[in-house]
């Protein structure tokens, strides 16, 4: 990471491939669940992109819960939420 004061190389939280979680409790294995959550987040991001929802609009990120379970956070802009909603609506109409 760059430390020149200009912000170059600093990864913003929404750009990171994963988020943290709660405090780490000694003796709890977070890695396996986090890896599973990261794979799920990456797969979801790929599907979002296929439906025209870019990472700037919405993205899934992996994290963990205090109990060691993996979690996937979905965060986005209002436009991203509308685009995701429209994609889900189209999929629902196709199933009818």
CA–CA distance, 27 with 65 (Å, rounded to integer): 14
This prediction has a pTM of: 0.71
Note the pLDDT of residue 30: 81
Burial class of 70 by CB neighbour count within 10 A (0 to 12, 13 to 18, 19+):
buried
User: Strand 70-76 and strand 58-64: pairing?
Assistant: antiparallel
Quote the CA–CA distance of 43 and 77 in Å, as a whole number. Answer: 20
The residue among 11, 10, 17 whose CA lies nearest residue 37 is: 17
Percent of the chain past pLDDT 90, that is, above it, reads: 50
**Six-digit token string for 62:** 């992996």
- State pLDDT tens for residues 41-77: 999 999 999 999 999 999 999 988 878 899 999 999 9
């Amino acid at each position: 990471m760059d430390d020149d004061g200009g912000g170059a190389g600093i990864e913003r939280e929404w750009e990171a491939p994963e988020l943290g979680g709660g405090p780490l409790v000694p003796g709890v294995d977070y890695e396996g669940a986090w890896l599973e959550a990261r794979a799920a987040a990456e797969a979801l991001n790929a599907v979002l992109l296929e439906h025209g929802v870019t990472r700037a609009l919405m993205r899934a990120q992996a994290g963990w819960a205090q109990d060691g379970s993996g979690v996937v956070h979905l965060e986005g802009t209002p436009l991203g939420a509308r685009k995701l909603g429209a994609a889900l609506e189209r999929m629902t109409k196709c199933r009818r």
